[in-house]
């Protein structure tokens, strides 16, 4: 973290839908690294995310797919930098 990146910046919005793949459908214990991958694509609607989850189940039948909706994002904003 840079010394100037100390101001929290929260943006609320109706975000896209994300898929999270739980390998084997099991919860991971704290401190144990999950083999699941972080979501990488935003689907525009719940239905699109659900269709993609169903499609992915054909390739990963041992997994459970969780549909998440991004509602807000919090990150550090550099002081004096304009919003953008």
What is the domain count for the chain?
Answer: 1
Residue 42 lies in a domain: yes
* pLDDT at residue 5 in the model: 64
**C-alpha distance across the termini of the chain, in Å:** 20
* pLDDT at residue 26 in the model: 56
Residue 18 lies in a domain: yes
Residue 17 lies in a domain: yes
pLDDT-derived band at 35 (thresholds 50, 70, 90) equals low
Residue 11 lies in a domain: yes
Residue 40 lies in a domain: yes
Mean pLDDT of 59-84: 81
Rounded Cα–Cα distance for residues 66 and 63 (Å): 10
Domain coverage including residue 40: 5-27+36-77
Q: Whole-structure pTM over 0.85, yes or no?
A: no
Residue 82 lies in a domain: no
Residue 83 lies in a domain: no
Which residues, in sequence order, are bridge partners of residue 5? 78
Residue 9 DSSP one-character state: E
């Amino acid at each position: 973290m840079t010394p100037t990146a100390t101001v929290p910046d929260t943006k609320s919005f109706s975000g896209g839908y994300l898929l999270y793949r739980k390998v084997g459908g099991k919860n991971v214990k704290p401190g144990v690294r999950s083999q699941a991958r972080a979501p990488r694509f935003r689907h525009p609607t719940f239905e699109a995310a659900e269709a993609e989850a169903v499609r992915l189940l054909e390739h990963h039948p041992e997994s459970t797919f969780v549909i998440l909706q991004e509602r807000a994002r919090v990150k550090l904003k550099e002081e004096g930098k304009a919003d953008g």
